[in-house]
Structure 1
Amino acid sequence: MKSIKAITFDLWDTVINDDSDEPIRKEMGLRTKREERHFLVWQAVNEISPLPLEKVKSAYEDINTEFNQVWHDEFVTWTVSQRLNRVLLKLNIQLPDQSFDDTVEALESLEVDLPPRPIEGAHEALAEISKEFPLAVVSDTINTPGKGLRAWLEKHDLKQYFRVFAFSDEVGRSKPHRDIFACALDGLGARFEDAVHIGDREHNDIRGAHALGMRAILFTATRDADAENTTADAVCKSYAQLPAILNQLN
C-alpha cells in the first residue's frame, strides 16, 4: 500500500456541523434557514409584484428539486445567483439589478453571519494532521459559495490548516467529478493514488475518490446515513479516532 502524500477534506458534516446553527436561530426567535431563504426571495419579489409567500416558496422548492437532480446526476452545483434566476423565471418576475444582487448576497451570507459550529475535535485533529500531511478542502457549495466557506474557516481559525481550496462553484464541477479532486491535488502536487479523501457521503466522497484511485474514509460524527453499506477503506466516528486511522492507512 502506498504511503499517504496528501489528504483532502469535505466540509459539510465533515468539518462543519451542518445545521448546528438551527437551534441558535430558534433560540433567537429567527426563522429556520429554509424559511429565511423563502422570505428573502419573497421580500425582493414583493417590491415588484405582490405575490403570496406560498407561491414563492413553491417556486423556490421546485428549483431546489431541480438543483439536487443536476447536482447528483451531472455533478454541477448551480450558484446562488443561477438558482435565484431560475426561481424568478418560474415566477415570471425580473428584479432590478441592485435588488437581485442584494438578495444573492443575503442568501449567500446566511451561514456566515450566523454560522454553524465546527464538529467537535476538528481544530485539534487538523492542527495535528496538518503537521504531517498537506491538506486541501474539496467541497460542494450548496447554499454558501466558496468565498463564504473561506470566511467560515477563517472565522473558526481553521483555514490555516489547509493549503488548497477546491469549491464546486469555483471549479465548475462537484463531487464525484474528477475535476474537483484534481484541482485540489494538483495544488498540493500529489497524485490520486497517493491521496486520501475524507467525507460523509458514499456517492460523492467515497465512490468519487475510489473511482480515481484514491483511498477514502467515511466520516460519521454527525451524519452516518451511509455507514451501513459503505465501501470506504475506513469509517471514522470522531476526530479523536482520525490520526490513528490515518496511521493505519499509511
Structure 2
Amino acid sequence: MRLLEATEKYQHISFDLWLTLIKSNPEYKVRRNQLFKDFFEINQPIETVAAAIRKFDVLTNSINEKVTKNFDTSEIYCLILDHLGVAVDSYSRQQLTDFYEQTDALLMQYKPLLLQDSLPNFLKQLVDEGKTLNILSNTAFIKGSSLRKIIEHYQLTSYFAFQVYSDEVGFSKPGTQIYDYAYSHIQQIGNIQKHEVLHVGDNKVSDYDGALAYGFGAYLLTQETIYESKLQSLQNHRSA
C-alpha cells in the first residue's frame, strides 16, 4: 500500500525526519569531517577521521536504540577523539560547544536536501484533508535546534503541530518514553486515540516496531519504495 493510501484511516500522522523527509547533503559530511580534523588538530589522514566519525555515528545510534536514551553531541565528540588517540581532557566543554557552532554554520551552508521535491505539496494535501502532523526524530551529531532551522528553511514548519527531537527530551525511539511524550502532545491537539495515529519512518526498529509496540499504526519506508510512496501516490491521487 502506498503512503497516501495508508494515511486515509488515520487522523494524525507522525513523521521521522532523516531519510523520511530529508537526506544529508553529501558535501556537508565531507566538509564536516575536515573541520573535525582541523579544529581538533588531529594528526591522522582524513580517511581515518571520517571512518571514526562514521563508526561512532552508527554505534551511538545503535546504543540509543537499545537503551532508548540519548547521547549528547559532545559525548560523541569525546568518543571519537579518544578513539583517534586525542586526549579528551585537553579540550574544554566550551571548545566542544564552539565546534558544534561551527558545524551548525556549515550545516546552514550545505543544508540537508528534501527527500522528494513534491514533499511540501504532499504535506499540504494531508493538512488540507484535516489531518494533523508532527516530527518525531532521533538525533546524533545534529541537534534539534539545528533541524528546526532546516524545517523552517524549506517552509515546512507550519505543517507540523509540533516537533520532537531526542536530544531535547533525553530519550530515543523505539522507547516508550519518547512515543509517550509525542502522544501527550497529540492529545493536546484533540481527542485522538493511539490507533488513529500513524508513524512513518525508514527505520524498522525505531519507527516501525517502536510505533506498533506503543499502539500507533506504522508505515515503513524503504529505499525501493520511498519515492513511489511520496511522489507516485500523490500523482495517482490527483489523477483519480
**What's the TM-score once normalised by structure 2's chain length?**
0.78
| Equivalent of residue 5 in structure 1, options 8, 11, 16 | 11
The answer on whether the counterparts of 1:173 and 1:180 sit within 8 Å (CA) in structure 2 is: yes
Aligned pair count? 219
Correspondence 1:167-178 to 2 at 5 A: 167-178=165-176
CA distance in 2, matches of 1:52, 1:3: 54
In the alignment, what sits opposite 1:127? 124
The answer on whether the counterparts of 2:65 and 2:175 sit within 8 Å (CA) in structure 1 is: no
Q: Residue 3 of structure 1: CA displacement?
A: 5.1
Q: Residue 77 of structure 1: CA displacement?
A: 3.7
Correspondence 1:74 to 2:71: no
CA distance in 1, matches of 2:64, 2:93: 27
AA at the equivalent of 1:121: S
Q: Residue 44 of structure 1: CA displacement?
A: 2.1
In the alignment, what sits opposite 1:179? 177
Instruction: Report which of the two has the higher share of helix.
Output: 2
Identity among equivalent positions (%) equals 24
| Equivalent of residue 95 in structure 2, options 95, 99, 105 | 99
In the alignment, what sits opposite 1:64? 57
For structure 2, list consecutive stretches of 5 or more residues without a partner in the other structure. Answer: 1-7
Correspondence 1:27-176 to 2 at 5 A: 33=29, 35-46=30-41, 51-53=43-45, 56-57=49-50, 59-90=52-83, 91-93=86-88, 94-118=90-114, 119-131=116-128, 132-176=130-174
CA distance in 2, matches of 1:244, 1:179: 37
Cα deviation, 1:3-44, whole Å, max 9, x if unaligned, reads: 52321011111111x13x22xx3xxxxxx61x4333222212
CA distance in 2, matches of 1:138, 1:242: 23
Given the superposition, is the C-alpha separation of residues 243 and 161 from structure 1 closer, same or farther in structure 2, using an over 3 Å criterion? farther
CA distance in 2, matches of 1:65, 1:128: 35
Look up the SS of the partner of 1:198 in the other structure. Answer: strand
AA at the equivalent of 2:131: F
CA distance in 1, matches of 2:105, 2:172: 21
Correspondence 1:237 to 2:237: no
Q: Residue 109 of structure 1: CA displacement?
A: 4.4
Q: Residue 112 of structure 1: CA displacement?
A: 3.1
AA at the equivalent of 1:193: H
Deviation larger for 178-187 or 207-216: 178-187
For structure 1, list consecutive stretches of 5 or more residues without a partner in the other structure. Answer: 26-31, 228-234, 246-250
Look up the SS of the partner of 1:136 in the other structure. Answer: strand
Deviation larger for 204-213 or 175-184: 175-184
AA at the equivalent of 1:208: G
CA distance in 1, matches of 2:93, 2:221: 41
Q: Residue 244 of structure 1: CA displacement?
A: 8.3
Cα deviation, 1:166-218, whole Å, max 9, x if unaligned, reads: 11111212211122222222112133222111112221111111111211122
What CA RMSD, in Å, does the superposition of the two structures yield over aligned residues? 2.8
Q: Residue 66 of structure 1: CA displacement?
A: 3.1
CA distance in 2, matches of 1:244, 1:174: 35
The answer on whether the counterparts of 1:185 and 1:191 sit within 8 Å (CA) in structure 2 is: no
CA distance in 2, matches of 1:216, 1:242: 19
Look up the SS of the partner of 1:204 in the other structure. Answer: helix
The answer on whether the counterparts of 2:61 and 2:140 sit within 8 Å (CA) in structure 1 is: no
